[in-house]
Structure 1
Amino acid sequence: MAAIRTMHRYANVPLPETKAARKVLDGYRQRLALAKDPAAKPRKADPAVPDTLRAMLTVLDRATLAGKRDAAAMLLGYACATRIGELVALDVADVAETPDGLLVTVYRPKIKKFTEVAVPYGRVPATCPVRAVRDLLTAMAEAGRTAGPLLVRITRHGRIAAPLTRHGRPIGDPDGRMTTDAIADVITRIATTAGLEGRWTGHSLRRGFATAARRDGKTLERIGRHGGWADGSAALLGYLEEGDRWTDNPVVGL
């Protein structure tokens, strides 16, 4: 329906009425719900809260370049509350280490602006995003890469992948930048290896940050500004409700 209405706008003709079509969809959705069909429920990624991240990190071989990359991707994506597209868009130049931690420049397409996200040192070295990014940058520098994408393709032999070609023509990012699908596959694969049940995607990191931050008592304003959510974001409010489910349960004490 959205596509049809958009094409009508482009053709500069009156928009079609969708009230009847929406009623049909509402009825279909209700029938699915009454039948207990899983299709009636929204498909949400499970939130990667700190305990989940720890379990995922334990299955990585962080002595390898791929392990360092995957650890940095998970911890930085979580600490910056990035969407998966924002994470893969990061360049080496976007990450600056300061005495207090990392200052990460993230472009947030939803709000159409750059944000500077402060990422402090973690108390535990194994789950510290600052140390994880530093380890990755050091390993990449040893491999001859000091600029360009932060998260790059790595071959099964542990080397930064060469540019891809098909029939002699370059395909993908010539600098080896990972795609959003590739990062999502990495997160899913690591979660599966760690024996985690549920639906784990690249968005699990962003949801996990919001859920854990709310459980720790952080305010809506601080969480929203840190993660680049628009004011009054319905998605953020939904994450916070999940975080409040137990910590601010109205049944407690009644």
Structure 2
Amino acid sequence: LRGKPSELNWKAEVTKTPYNRNRTRQFYLDFPPEGVSYEFWARDLALIALGLRTMRQPGELCNLRLSDVKLVGGLFWVRINKSKTDQLAKEKFIPIEKMSSRFCSVERVVNYLKVRPVTKGDAPLFLSKSRKKMSVLAISAVVKRFAEHAKMKGRFTAHSLRIGGATAAMKGGLSMEQIQTIGGWVSDAARLYMRAIGTVNLGASIAMGFEG
């Protein structure tokens, strides 16, 4: 087992239930659960959309700061400062195309920023109720709340966004290389995942269904 931590981590991830993007689109966007304020509804929608689209680790979503997201040259750029597969903390930039759809992940983040509380300095992008950085457990709670509200059954955690995004990308036609690059997976882990979910038609946003 020694020497292959990526494979072990990946096997742990695939036991989670992939998050169903379509159920979120058709149900949750129009009907927020009772007791959720507009600010946190907007935050949760942005978190879910960005998590699915970028396919990044939950910890990386937690660590995103305001300065890590920018609209430049017609593209929305997300900067990942450090990942589990890049312990040297080399920056990675993920470009996301803006689309004329209310399901667009860029639109979701922009809408959230309009209602996000003003903070001093370079604060976390996604704020908890205490105005601090969200934890992985907090993201898992958001995912579970979404899933329950949309009547999805399964074992949902923060990793379900990463798995759900990859599943949608593969079914939409993105290559394994493209998925690895966006999600930051090493090749062995990506191959394990391909086998785990079965054979699919390998053909980012249109392919993944964000055009809605």
Normalized against structure 2, the TM-score is what? 0.77
Distance apart, 1:56 and its partner CA: 4.1
Pairs within 5 Å for 1:25-104: 44-54=15-25, 55-60=27-32, 64-104=38-78
Higher relative contact order (CA 8 A, sep 6+): 2
Distance apart, 1:116 and its partner CA: 0.3
Structure 1 alignment gaps of length 5 or more: 3-40, 155-160, 162-174, 249-254
Residue in 1 that maps onto 2:149: 193
Q: SS at 2:93's partner residue?
A: strand
Pairs within 5 Å for 1:196-211: 196-211=152-167
CA-atom RMSD, angstroms?
A: 2.6
Distance 1:58 1:82, change over 3 A: farther
Pairs within 5 Å for 1:89-238: 89-106=63-80, 107-112=82-87, 113-125=90-102, 127-140=103-116, 143-145=117-119, 147-154=122-129, 161=130, 176-230=132-186, 232-234=187-189, 236-238=190-192
> Which of the pair has more CA radius of gyration?
1
Given that 1:214 and 1:243 are in contact with CA atoms closer than 8 Å, whether structure 2 keeps it comes out as no
Structure 2 alignment gaps of length 5 or more: 3-11, 203-212
Q: Identity of aligned pairs, percent?
A: 26
The alignment of Structure 1 onto Structure 2 pairs a total of residues equal to 186
**Residues 148-194 of structure 1, C-alpha deviations (whole Å, 9 max, x = no match):** 0011112xxxxxx3xxxxxxxxxxxxx51111111111111121121
Distance 1:83 1:99, change over 3 A: same
**Residues 186-240 of structure 1, C-alpha deviations (whole Å, 9 max, x = no match):** 111121121111111111111111111111221111110111112x232x22333
Given that 2:51 and 2:165 are in contact with CA atoms closer than 8 Å, whether structure 1 keeps it comes out as no
Given that 2:23 and 2:150 are in contact with CA atoms closer than 8 Å, whether structure 1 keeps it comes out as no
Q: Aligned partners of 2:134, 2:13: CA distance in 1, in Å? A: 28
Distance apart, 1:246 and its partner CA: 4.8
Normalized against structure 1, the TM-score is what? 0.65
Given that 1:49 and 1:211 are in contact with CA atoms closer than 8 Å, whether structure 2 keeps it comes out as no
Letter in 2 for 1:51: N
Letter in 2 for 1:80: T
**Residues 47-94 of structure 1, C-alpha deviations (whole Å, 9 max, x = no match):** 124313324434436971000110110011111111110101000110
Distance apart, 1:42 and its partner CA: 8.8
Q: Aligned partners of 1:75, 1:144: CA distance in 2, in Å? A: 22
Q: Aligned partners of 1:65, 1:148: CA distance in 2, in Å? A: 17
Given that 1:68 and 1:132 are in contact with CA atoms closer than 8 Å, whether structure 2 keeps it comes out as yes
